[in-house]
Amino acid sequence: MAWAIWLSFVTVSAANIVTPGPANMNTLRRALQLGFVPVLPTILGNALGLAIGGVICATGVATFVVGSPTLWLLFHGFGVAYLGWLGLKLIFKRESISFGSGAVGLVPRHVLFKEALVLAATNPKALLFYVALFPQVMNPDKTLWTQSLLLVTTYCALSILSLCTYAATASCIRGSFLTQARYTAFRVLSGLILLGFSVALARST
């Protein structure tokens, strides 16, 4: 793969990744609640979810799913339902914030990891991004798996960098700005935004 094509992929991917979306909102919310270091499982879980989507796309399964109305409806519906459920959970479930050493124990690491993994793996927009962009930058005359590995690794690395920036920013302001009331208000706002994403995805079918 030519460097110019790879750089084009990086530019388009970065623009897609940094735009506020479910993964960014979830990471920002958890970083406000827990701080930067405890939210690392969220960042890693999101990266793994994106990697799974990339591998699925690279094997051609994604193209098959998108080409089958029934399979696409099921996949799309699951993603919409999960976003909606997470949005409602943020609105109605109350969580505490902590600025001491107990912050890590507020939410188990495996819960943070699984939450982000499912959110990334069931995001139809991420799958469509892979399906739309990969064929445009891959050279069919060269080894597809090598190119796929490079593209997926690049995309996941950009996502980790973006989410770390979101998390670090949230962690920096939480000590001087955040209160329990403000965090609760942010959770409700995040829930409404995720519900908005869910509705937008549902209407895009």
Structure confidence by residue, pLDDT tens digits, 45-84: 999 999 998 888 877 776 777 677 887 788 778 778 877 8
d(CA 48, CA 142): 26
Asked if residue 164 belongs to a domain, the reply is yes
Asked if pLDDT for residue 100 goes beyond 70, the answer is no
Asked if residue 175 belongs to a domain, the reply is yes
C-alpha separations of 97 from 54, 56, 153 in Å: 34, 37, 33
Residue of 201, 49, 35 whose CA lies nearest to 118: 49
Asked if residues 130 and 57 have their Cβ atoms less than 8 Å apart, the reply is yes
Asked if residue 11 belongs to a domain, the reply is no
Asked if residue 150 belongs to a domain, the reply is yes
Asked if residue 158 belongs to a domain, the reply is yes
Other CB atoms closer than 10 Å to residue 141's CB: what's the count? 6
DSSP character string of the chain: --HHHHHHHHHHHHHHHHS--HHHHHHHHHHHHH-TGGGHHHHHHHHHHHHHHHHHHHTTHHHHHHH-HHHHHHHHHHHHHHHHHHHHHHHH-------STTHHHHS-HHHHHHHHHHHHHT-HHHHHHHHHHHHHH--TTS-HHHHHHHHHHHHHHHHHHHHHHHHHHHHHHHHHH--HHHHHHHHHHHHHHHHHHHHHHHHT-
Number of domains in the chain: 1
- Domain that residue 98 falls in: 36-203
- pLDDT value, residue 102: 46
Q: How confident is the model at residue 152 (pLDDT cuts 50, 70, 90)?
A: very high
Global pTM reads 0.78
Other CB atoms closer than 10 Å to residue 174's CB: what's the count? 21
pLDDT one-digit tens code per residue, 121-150: 888 777 778 877 777 787 877 887 888 899
Asked if residue 31 belongs to a domain, the reply is no
SS3 per residue for 111-155? HHHHHHHHHHHCCHHHHHHHHHHHHHHCCCCCCHHHHHHHHHHHH
Q: Which is more confident, 89 or 50? A: 50
Asked if residue 14 belongs to a domain, the reply is no
> Percent of the chain scored above 90 by pLDDT?
26
Asked if residue 55 belongs to a domain, the reply is yes
136 burial via Cβ count (<10 Å: 0-12, 13-18, 19+): exposed
